[in-house]
Chain A
Amino acid sequence: MEDTVLEDIEIASPSMVKQAARDFAAALAETPQFKAFEQAAYAFRQNQAAQLALQAYQQKQQSLRALLMLNALSAEQHDELERLESAFITQPVVQKYFTAQAELATLCQALGDALSESIGLNYAAACGVSCCG
């Protein structure tokens, strides 16, 4: 390996960079998008109907996992799963949560793009995030 010359260069220590990261997180936490997301997430967690609808949908999905992977659901099973999904996502509190999540994602993407462009690395990809998070 070749040695890198770092003399004459002002280096930011890891603790300085981490402080800048914490300041960045604090600024993001103060944005209307983040506050709206937190409120929507709280309302969603507290809403019993939404939680029960989510549970019912997830349980059905889990029970059909093998068939789903094989794309081998019967028409009835498919309809039942769609009905449960719809019962979940049409809950007003869930819709509010998804909207707030999308708005926060738009802001985070703009910030991620600014970071990526400046540092020469794709921020999300470098942090090991795939399409499924």
Chain B
Amino acid sequence: MQTVLNPSMQEAADALIGNLLASEAFVRCQQAHARLNEDRQAHTLLEQLSQAQADLRKKQANSGVIQTEIDNLRTLQEQVQHNNVIMTYAQTQQEAVNFLREINDEISQLLGINFASFANHTTC
């Protein structure tokens, strides 16, 4: 069932979203994400890394990993770590996450509860 927000709550949520998206941390992250989306080489590299990781996991479960596959994964990991576009995106995303945590602390301090814990859908 969808929760209906009262107008002042909706307004405050919209204002917070607008401010977050206009913050330096989020603007940098959005710009880095856009650059990543436009960069074919970076995209291919991430796809190759993801595929190599999935293949290795599958083979590890079947105890069939060979050294060349591990070497291939390491090479891809090194290439990713030397790719400016990917690393800029990773770093800006981490900065956005750090800023979001500060914002959650601000909200939680005033309420006396951890807002993110209450907003979490997952339960043990």
Contact = CB atoms under 8 A, between A and B. Distances in A.
Interface string A94-133: 0000000000111111111111001111011111111111
A24 B27 contact: no
Interface of A is mostly: helix
Given A17-B19, A127-B100, A108 B119 contact: yes
Given A6-B28, A12-B19, A129 B116 contact: yes
Interface of B is mostly: helix
A4 B31 contact: yes
A25 interface: yes
Contacts, number: 173
Given A1-B88, A119-B26, A105 B16 contact: no
Interface residues of B, number: 58
Given A20-B18, A107-B5, 11 more contacts: A6-B27, A17-B99, A21-B16, A22-B110, A23-B15, A25-B107, A31-B9, A119-B17, A127-B104, A128-B101, A132-B124
